[in-house]
Each structure stands twice: as structure tokens, then as C-alpha cells.
Structure 1
Amino acid sequence: MNPAELGMILMAIAAGAMMPIQAGVNSTLALQTHSSTMAAMISFVVGSIALAGVVMAMRLPIPAMGALKVAPWWSWTGGLLGAFFVAASVILVPKLGAATMMATFLAGQLTASVILDHFGWATFPQHDLSPGRVAGVLLLFAGVYLIRRY
């Protein structure tokens, strides 16, 4: 593995580690605001402010309107998908716990990922479904069962 690949793997591990922390932080905020939806909204506002600061610091140009107009309709749904994920995590973490919630999310993520890869949807490179990939997803669901049961 070259240093660039190792850096990407470590970044992915760090991002993955942040997910249960974010769920716990947002769940705490939901307790304080008495609203899961309000906590998710505050999370997105804070994140949007942070990203606006990064964009300004990097001096990224504002995209031309023409480029935005030709983007596929579904490319605009990322924020909605993220809002659902954050809201679901705020609701689920106090009921399921971090391990069950994250294991279940991971099983869902990998199920969707092998389907996206198989068909090459949403600009992903196409990778055929294989027995190994199916077995990997099934093992993730077995992990969900074991984490939840024990």
C-alpha cells in the first residue's frame, strides 16, 4: 500500500470513528432542545457554517449557474440524505446504543454500496456483484445480530 492509499484509509477510519461520536453529541443536543429534529437542524447549520468557512479560506470559486443547471436532479439530494441520516442517528442512538446503531448503519451502507457498485450508479465505478461481496454483506448482518443479541 502506498502512502497516499494509507492516508485515505486512515482518513476513512477517522471519519467512521466520528459517526458514533456525532450521534452521541447530537443526541445530547436533542435532550437539551427536547427535539430530535431541532438537534439535527442545529447540527446542519453548524456544519454549513464550518463548510462556508472552509470554502472561503480555500478561495474556491462559486460554480457557474450553467454547470449547476446541467447537474442531474438526483445530485441535489445529498443534503436530504444527510439530514435523514443525522435525524435517524439522533433518534436511534439512545434507543439502540452506539454499537447496534453503527453496526446496523454499516450493514445498510454496505448493502447499498454493493448495489451501487454492481450497476455503476451515481458515478461509482462498476464492480460486479460476487459471492465474496454477498458473503461480506451477510456477515455484516450476522455482526448486527451478534452485537444486538449479546
Structure 2
Amino acid sequence: MSWLLVPLAGLLGAVLTTQIATNTELGKALGNPYIPAAANMASGLIITAILTWAMTPEWPSREVMRGAPWYLWAAGGVLGVTYLTGNILLAPKLGAGALVALVVAGQLIFSVLLDNFGWFGFAQHPAGVARLAGCCLMIAGVFLVSRF
């Protein structure tokens, strides 16, 4: 792994936490936690469409696009809305630290399962002692940050 990518990944964590905070604040200001999710997805669609148009020199053929299973076209949007709306609803109740700790722990544990079993096309990487210990340490970190 290139160590130059590490600070960029850390920056993405800060971006994600800021997104949670701004969407939560918009939900409070509007008195509705669902409008920020819609605004987020709408602005994201516009920006993604511009980026895709600008950065895609050659589009896949219609046959290739039709060959992708239907659920792959919908899954990202459904999962994205679930994640985004869940964050907006949970952030005021849990606080930013606890929410992010729980989300990251969930991501790590599920990622280790994905790798171990090779689900969703990931290459298999066994969940050895070091990875399982890392998951346990992450869970311990959740308790320390959350103080449940």
C-alpha cells in the first residue's frame, strides 16, 4: 500500500463525518430528517453526472449495460439512501463520535467477513488471528468512544 494514500483516506473520513454533521443540522433546521437525504442525493446526482460526462471517454455498449444484473443498478442507491438517512436519524441520538465509531466498526467487521468468504466478488483473505484481533480492538474502541 502506498503511504501517500493513507492521509487521503483519512481525509475521506473527515469528509464523511462532515457530511453527517451538515445533513443532521439541515434536518434540525427544517424539522424533517428526510429532506436532507433527498437534497444530498439530488446534488450528488448532479455532480456525479457532470463528473461522469467529463471523465468517461468511452461508454459501455447497450449490450454490456443490459448484461449487468438489475439489482446491481439499484443496490447502490438503496444502500446509499439507507446509510444516509440512518446517519441523519442516529447522529442526534448517539453523537458524532459514537455514530462514526459504530459505523466504522460495522464496516470493518463486515469487510473481514467479505474477505474471508469472498462474497460480492472479493478475493478471499482468511480472517486470521490478526484480523480477528483487530475487530475485537475496534469493538473495544467503540465502547471507549461511546461510553455506553
TM (normalized to structure 2)? 0.90
Aligned to 1:118: 116
Q: From the superposition, tell whether residues 60 and 36 of structure 1 become closer, same or farther in structure 2 (CA, over 3 Å).
A: farther
Match of 1:28 among 20, 25, 30: 25
Output the CA distance in 2 between the equivalents of 1:87 and 1:107: 19
Q: Give the counterpart of 2:76 among 75, 78, 87.
A: 78
Aligned CA distance change for structure 1 residues 92 and 73 (closer, same or farther; 3 Å) = same
Superposition RMSD on alpha carbons, in Å?
1.7
Q: Aligned residues: percent identity? A: 35
1:140 matched residue in structure 2: 138
SS of residue matched to 2:4: helix
TM-score (norm 1): 0.89
Q: Which residue of structure 2 aligns with residue 129 of structure 1?
A: 127
Residues 62/133 of structure 1: CA separation in 2 closer, same or farther (3 Å cut): same
Consecutive unaligned residues in structure 1, runs of 5 or more: none
Give the aligned residue type for 2:129.
P
For residues 34-74 of structure 1, what are the alpha-carbon distances to aligned partners after superposition, in whole Å with 9 as ceiling and x for unaligned? Answer: 22122111101111111111122224444322212222344
The reply on whether 1:105 has 2:103 as its aligned counterpart is yes
For the residue of structure 1 that corresponds to 2:3, the secondary structure is helix
Equivalences for residues 87-98 of structure 1 within 5 A = 87-98=85-96
Partners of 1:118 and 1:74 lie apart in 2 by 23
In the alignment, the residues of structure 1 paired with residue 69 and residue 5 of structure 2 have an alpha-carbon distance, to the nearest angstrom, of: 28
Q: Which runs of 5+ in 2 are unaligned?
A: none
The amino acid across from 2:128 in the alignment is S
In 1, Cα distance between the equivalents of 2:93 and 2:58? Answer: 43
Q: How does 1:19-58 map to 2 (within 5 A)?
A: 19-58=16-55
CA distance in 2, matches of 1:52, 1:135: 41
Of 42-51 and 29-38, the range deviating more from structure 2: 29-38
Count matched residues: 147
